[in-house]
Chain A
Amino acid sequence: MNNLLVPKTAVFEMTYECNHRCLFCSVPWDSPRGDYNKLPELSVGEWKDCVDEVIGCGVRSIAFSGGEPLLKEGLEEVISHAKGKKVKEPVFGPAGILTHYNEKAPDLYVITNGELVDGRWAGVFKEYDCSMVVSLPGTEAFRELTGGDFQKALSAIRCLSGAGLDVVVSICVTKKNLPELFETISLGFLNGAKQLLLNRFLQGGRGTDHAELCLTKEEITRMLDTAEEACLAANIKGSVGTELPKCMVEKEYKMMTVGTMCSGGIDFFAIDPSGMVRPCNHSPVRLGSYKDLRSAIDTDYWQKFKCKDFLPPGCADCALSLNCDGGCREAAHITGGSLDSKDPLFYCLSR
């Protein structure tokens, strides 16, 4: 009997549209391979139906992403609809045993590049108690990497935090912006961000053809050391969202949490602009409509995530595999051809 439990977080990729052209962007529809055809986007009414469906299946948190979600006409209506729903949150007694459930509104997150954020949007997000994630991939390298305006991203962080919202500064770290990472993190914090989310660059989407942006093991260490230093100085916690192979993490960090276990398909999943579901936002593999979520989870592909049945053969006799998936499995899939290929980081080592 397959494990059909629905992850607690759904990432709603509201639209294909974006006002940035990030070299590192991993959305599958922008892959140069052109093998992810853009089916028609869901209407606002259909997104509201999607909210009902996934919450009915047990989802407790929704992250609005894209593309750039603020470009989706009717985003506010969908957010308002989601906030009006009720979800069950477990309450535990001694020894971690479930005692009962509390009813509450779902947790909502908005992941934005900040370009369109203004006082009105900040008010909307405040009204619906959204947590905000703003992308800030560099200072000097910002324009080259994104095509956007660094100052707008910074003022978005300021505007949102000024409105009393929790803001996470999100940085995709590449070879180009690593040298200015300390400055970037510091500016994010100084403008009001209360948490740091680092993502190491992984090939996928538009980034598929940008292997030159990949970090080496030494650069990964430098990234973590730099982030730790900035977080210690600001007394702010940070984490690395894209899991690393455990053998590549050389130190213990006090402020930075470094993930080594993939939570795709288990703790979260993605729904693309047409309503098709994928086990992870990095994945180019569509497994069905949100209307039949459990059938998608029941597929062999999704079950590989559930059962952790995707470890590279070279990692099979490593003791660290008790807490490690050998890095990002979908990036490995994109660069190596299968879920159990090596993480791209290992190709950087051999280059």
Chain B
Amino acid sequence: MKILKLIAGLMGISLAIPPAGAVEPVTSSKEEQPAMAKFTKEQLIDSLKKMSSRPQDIKTVCAMCYKMMIPPKEVEYHCKACGNVSTYERNSDQGALTEQLPYIERSLATMPYGAVVDASGLCSKCGNGKDKDLSVTVSCFNCGKKFNWEIRNSQDLESMYWLYLKPPITEVDTHYMGMKGNGPSEISKGAVYIRDHVFCPECRKKININE
């Protein structure tokens, strides 16, 4: 896992400043490295603009729908820093975050944004006074500057599916996205979500995506 994170981190740095003229997608071999296909910031920005301004052009598909397994009663968070164990009801927001934490770390490590998850808010010792959520630090896909966002509850977890979209984005599988609706307005919201979670506040203004 550490190696995966390191690779993803390195990818994030190199992709934040792509070589001049790099416009074609570069796919990594899945045999060598289980990571998402590489893409440039230009490709991503183009896709987001299209999603935002002409969401009706993005095809929506829904191959299946599913229901989460009924979770057991409790979940325990083991703090990697101090070793303390915090117990949450699995049906609570903190319980969902604790249960999903290994999946979130695993998923973000495959994405080219150099993401690091701080789960210390879930520790009843280290996180005393902090919000009981997950703080994610990513490197801006445009300028490389680090910025943060939070995962607070199940809705935030579902929204993370948007981060899997790879440009050029021509269709959105609404099953993956856990959407209530699947119309153009959802697509536009998705564009804003990706923008706000991949680009720093300064670069978001430059990208100029319609809300």
Chain A interface residues (CB < 8 Å from chain B):
1, 3-5, 8, 90, 92, 95-98, 239, 246-247, 249-253, 257-261, 267, 306-309, 311-314, 316-323
Contact = CB atoms under 8 A, between A and B. Distances in A.
Interface in B142-184: 157, 160-161, 164, 166, 173, 176-177
Interface range, B side: 35 or more
Contact of A98 (B34, B87, B110): B87
A277 B73 CA distance: 24
Interface of B: 1, 4, 30-31, 33-37, 63-70, 72-74, 76, 78, 80-81, 83, 85-89, 91-95, 100, 102-107, 110, 157, 160-161, 164, 166, 173, 176-177
Contacts of A307: 1, 102, 105-106
A222 B161 CA distance: 29
A318 B81 CA distance: 30
A1 B80 contact: yes
B106 A323 contact: no
A97 B88 contact: yes
Contact of A5 (B1, B34, B85, B89): B85
B83 A1 contact: yes
A95 B131 CA distance: 13
Contacts of A317: 34-37, 110, 164, 166
Contacts of B65: 251-252
A322 to B, nearest CB: 5
Given A97-B94, A253-B67, 18 more contacts: A90-B89, A95-B92, A96-B88, A96-B92, A96-B95, A97-B88, A97-B89, A239-B69, A239-B70, A249-B66, A250-B63, A307-B102, A311-B34, A313-B30, A317-B36, A317-B110, A317-B164, A322-B104
B61 to A, nearest CB: 13
A321 B106 contact: yes
A125 to B, nearest CB: 23
